[in-house]
Chains A and B, each alone.
Chain A
C-alpha cells in the first residue's frame, strides 16, 4: 500500500492483476505519461481505419503497421478474431463449441488435470475467480476437440488471458484453437516435438545474432529449455507484463509464429548486458526467472515491440533452421 500512496496507479492493474511488491511505480508513471498519449492517438487512428475497412480480412501493409503499434483494448477481441481467421473458422462451424460442451461423458483424466490447474491459474487476479468455470469449459471443450493435444499445462494461461481480453468463452475457444493448431502446432501435443525443435532454432538464432550472449549462457550451463520453454509454450502469457503480452499477441495473430521468435530474441538482445553481467548460473537463472520478465525494458511495451521489429528476421531463415534442427534430431 505504501507504494501506491505516492502513486496515481492502483496496486491492481486494469486487467485485475495485483502488481507485485517489486513493482516500480515511479518508472511506470513516467512510462504511462507518454504511453497514454500514444494510446489515445492510436484509438483515434483505429476508429478511422475500422470505419473504412470494418472486416479486416486482408492484412494490408497499413493494417499491419497499425497492429504493430497496438490494437486498442476495446477493439482487441474482435480484431484478433478477424485478422487471425478464427472468426471465419467459427462461421464455418458455428455449432462446434456448443456441441463440445454438450458431450455426455467427459474424459475423467482430462477433467481432473484441468481442475487441478484452475485454482492455480492467475491466483493474483482479483476478477479471475469468477471466470474459473468458464476457463474450465474452454479447456475441457478444446481437450475433447483435439485429442492429440488434450490438456497441456500452459494452455490454462493462454486461455485464461484470452478470456480476460475477450470476456467471451466461445471467442476464447476459437482463438486458443488458432494458436495451438496454426501458430505453434505440435508445441502442446503429447511429444511436444516442435517445441524442442524451436528451442534449438532459437539457440541457433542467439548464436547468429548475439554470439557472446550464447557463449556466456552455455558457459554457465543454463539450458535454453529452462530459459525459454515457458516463453514458447505460453507465448509469454504469465511471463511478461500483461500489456506487453497483449501487444505481442496483436502481432502474433496478424503475422504468425515468427513473432514469437522476434519477442524471444528481443528479450536476449535488450538484456544483453544484464545476461553478460551474471557470473554464475544461479544469478543467471534468477535474472531470467525474476528480473528480466518485469523490469523497465519489458514494462515499456511500446519500446519493447519496437525492439522486436528492429531485428532482422526472415521467415526463410527460420524455416531453414527448423529443417536443420529436425535433421539434428530436435
Chain B
C-alpha cells in the first residue's frame, strides 16, 4: 500500500528508517520521466517531491529539474529528476535528458490507449539509446480513474515483465504508489561504492527544500 503523501517529506514509506547509524552511504541517481502529453509526469513529480497535486497542472514546456531524497536501509538515495515535455515535437530535446540517466519512469494514462502505445515506443528508444543498465519503470497513472480505464492492468503488467520493467499503477492525485515506484527504483539501482551515480558528501549541502534527514 502507498503511504499517505506528506507535504515536504521525503516520504519513502515503510522502508524509511527514522534514525539510522552514522555509517550511511549516499548515492545520487539521474532519473528521467518520459511519456505522452498530459499523462501526469509533472504531477507524479510534484506529488513525490512536494506532496502536492494540482488538478490543472500546467503543461511542461521544455523540461524541469527537481530533486528528492529517500532512504532505503542504510543508504541515502538522492534522485535528480528530469521531467520532460510530452508533446511529440519536444522529442528532439529528450535525448539530452535521458543520456546518462540511471533510471527512467515511462508514464501512460490508463484511460488512454495511445499513451500506452507511446510508452512502449519510449521503452524501445531507451533500450536502444540510453545507458544499457538503465532501470526502467512503467507507470500506469490516473489509477484513481480505474472505473473508466481502457488499458488493462494485466496487459501492461505482462508487457512490463516481457521487457524487464518495473510496473505499477499510480495516482498522482491520491498519492497511490507514487513514493513506492520511486522506492522500487531506488532498491533496484546498484548502491555499491562504484555505482554509476555520484557519491555525495555525507554532510554535503542539501539545498532541496524538501529533503528531510531521514537517515541521519
Contacts and interface: CB of A to CB of B under 8 A. Distances in A.
A223 B61 CA distance: 14
A8 interface: no
A117 B92 contact: no
B105 interface: no
A230 B87 contact: no
A283 interface: yes
Given A226-B62, A233-B61, A113 B205 contact: no
A5 interface: no
Taking each of B54, B89, B92, which has the highest tally of chain A beta carbons within 10 Å of its own beta carbon? B89
Contacts of A153: 37, 59, 61, 85, 87, 90
Contacts of B58: 120-121, 123, 238
Interface residues of B, number: 31
B89 A152 contact: yes
B207 interface: yes
A283 B207 contact: yes
A156 B87 CA distance: 13
Interface string B199-210: 000001111110
B82 to A, nearest CB: 8
A116 B37 contact: yes
Nearest to A119: B56
A153 B96 CA distance: 19
Contacts of A156: 59
B62 A233 contact: yes
Contacts of A228: 62
A225 B62 contact: yes
Contacts of B208: 282, 286
Interface string B74-115: 000000101001011110110010000000000000000000
Interface in A194-222: 196, 222
A280 interface: yes
B66 interface: yes
B105 to A, nearest CB: 18
A289 B67 CA distance: 13
A286 B80 CA distance: 13
Contact of B63 (A154, A226, A283): A226
A279 interface: yes
Contacts of B85: 153
B15 interface: no
Contacts of A234: 61
Nearest to A117: B59
A280 B149 CA distance: 41
A230 B65 contact: no
Contacts of A303: none
B87 A152 contact: yes
B93 A229 contact: yes
A125 B62 CA distance: 23
A281 interface: yes
Contacts of B54: 123
B135 interface: no
A289 B55 CA distance: 20
A190 interface: yes
Contacts of B88: 190
B62 A191 contact: no
Contacts of B129: none
Contacts of A116: 37-38
Given A226-B62, A234-B61, A281-B80, A286 B89 contact: no
A191 B88 CA distance: 10
Chain A CB within 10 Å, residue with most, of B61, B90, B208: B61
A90 B202 CA distance: 63
B93 A123 contact: no
Contacts of B37: 113, 116, 153
Given A153-B90, A192-B89, A280 B62 contact: no
Interface string B35-60: 00110000000000000001111110
Interface in A134-168: 152-154, 156-157
B59 A229 contact: no
Given A153-B37, A279-B207, A282-B207, A113 B87 contact: yes
A192 B88 CA distance: 11
Interface of A: 113, 116-117, 119-121, 123, 152-154, 156-157, 188-192, 196, 222-223, 225-226, 228-230, 233-234, 238, 278-283, 285-286, 289
30 contacts: A116-B37, A117-B59, A120-B38, A120-B56, A120-B57, A152-B89, A153-B37, A153-B85, A154-B59, A157-B61, A190-B88, A191-B89, A196-B93, A222-B65, A226-B62, A226-B63, A229-B61, A229-B63, A233-B61, A233-B62, A234-B61, A279-B207, A281-B65, A281-B67, A281-B80, A282-B67, A282-B80, A282-B207, A285-B65, A286-B209
Interface of B: 37-38, 54-59, 61-67, 80, 82, 85, 87-90, 92-93, 96, 204-209
Closest 3 CB pairs of A and B: A229-B62, A283-B207, A123-B56
